[in-house]
A = this chain, B = another copy of it.
Amino acid sequence: MPEAASAAAPTRATIGDSEFDRDTALTARAPGVYDIDLSAGWTIINAVNGGYLLAVLGRALADTLPHTDPFTISAHYLTASQPGPAVVRTETVRTGRTLSTGQASLLQYDEEGREVERIRVLASYGDLDALPDDVRTTAAPPAIPPLQECFGPQDGPSPVPGSSAITDRLMIKLDPATLGWALGAPSGRGEMRAWFGLADGRDADPLSLLLAVDALPPTAFEIGLKGWVPTVELTVHVRSRPAPGPLRVSITTRNLAGGFLEEDAEVWDSSDRLVAQSRQLARVRLG
């Protein structure tokens, strides 16, 4: 009775068979050239989420390079992506024994059908499973209350401002201490912390970590700013393959100045391992 059993318990998606995997799947047109239809399921207001786009580019590079895990990936965001057809072009820059480096561009088409570049990426890939086990970290996991004491877009009396299609794809439960902005009382501190997962239950892997670092509300909201905070550049270091289970994401902004700010993210897995670090430079549209 497999069907009855599956109807009784909600089916958890798996790595390779989930919304995230389907929506980052690429079709190879030629060596180093991939077609994809960017899903409207990962939009915030009308913009396609930058972390989802980075995962698309990261997946293309994993296919192109001899190594499959992004160790460090740097993306410069050029123009705003739209849901719909896109092409990814990759280039192998160097292959080495333990690391290989590649470049990728995401392009879409203007009204005349000309390619317009959306994002350009440089990345060095390796094999996370081949790393030694040594951990000599002084970093500690963020203090976030238990998941059931945190709040997501579905928990409020009214939707969290800025909610959009992507909220249906993600499990985000924000630490109440960084939720003041949603209640009209931002803390003034540039911090955002949350439990994070994919809504269909798919566990995290190195590619979905590229999404995790850019999926929380902007820290600028807790500083008291409103409006859009477009990413100029985002670099992610994947430091370990994440264990199954929900992630904790902590984002900090220390320096809002001259119309720009940095967002530093840490991602921790269920075994208390720091699995990713990221930093982005974003513009502040002062509202």
A204 CB to closest chain B CB (Å) equals: 17
Q: Which 3 A-B pairs have the closest CB atoms?
A: A131-B258, A74-B74, A139-B254
Q: What's the nearest-Cβ distance from chain B to residue A50, in Å?
A: 14
Beyond A78-B93, A134-B259, 16 extra complex contacts between A and B, CB < 8 Å = A74-B74, A74-B122, A76-B101, A76-B123, A78-B101, A79-B94, A93-B120, A101-B120, A124-B232, A128-B258, A131-B260, A134-B256, A134-B286, A136-B256, A136-B257, A239-B258
What separation, in Å, do the CA atoms of A148 and B277 have in the docked complex?
Answer: 36
Q: Which residues of B contact A133 (CB under 8 A)?
A: 258
Using Cβ atoms and an 8 Å threshold, which residues of chain B touch A221? none
- Asked whether any CB of chain B lies closer than 8 Å to the CB of A255, the reply is yes
Determine if B233 and A257 form an interchain contact, defined as CB atoms under 8 angstroms apart.
no
A195 at the interface (CB under 8 A from B): no
Chain B residues whose C-beta falls within 8 Å of the C-beta of A72 in the assembled complex: 76, 232-233, 281
Residue of B nearest to A140 (CB): B254
Chain B contacts for A239, CB-based, 8 A:
255, 257-258, 260
Docked-complex contact A136 and B223, CB < 8 angstroms: yes
Please state if B103 and A233 are interface contacts (CB–CB under 8 Å): no
Within 8 Å of chain B (Cβ to Cβ): is A4? no
**Size range of the interface on A?**
35 or more
Chain B residue with minimal CB distance to A235? B235
Q: Which positions in A face B, CB cutoff 8 Å? A: 71-72, 74, 76, 78-79, 93-94, 99, 101, 103, 117, 120-124, 128, 131-139, 189-190, 223, 232-233, 235, 237, 239-240, 254-260, 262, 273-274, 277, 279, 281, 286
Chain B proximity of A36: nearest CB distance (Å): 21
Bound state CA distance, A72 and B257, in angstroms? 14
26 residue pairs of the A-B complex, CB under 8 angstroms, read A71-B281, A74-B74, A74-B76, A74-B235, A78-B94, A78-B101, A93-B117, A120-B122, A121-B122, A124-B232, A128-B258, A131-B259, A134-B256, A134-B257, A135-B256, A135-B258, A136-B256, A136-B257, A137-B256, A137-B257, A237-B279, A239-B255, A239-B257, A257-B274, A262-B277, A277-B279
Copies in the complex: 2
**Whole-angstrom distance from the CB of A125 to the nearest CB of chain B?**
11
- Chain B residue at minimal CB-CB distance from A101: B76
A140 to chain B, nearest CB (A): 9
Q: Is the CB–CB distance between B257 and A124 below 8 Å? A: no
Question: Within the complex, what minimum Cβ distance (angstroms) separates A188 from chain B?
Answer: 9
Taking a contact as CB atoms under 8 Å apart, the answer to whether A255 and B274 are in contact is: yes
The complex places the Cα of A72 from the Cα of B232 at a distance, in Å, of 8
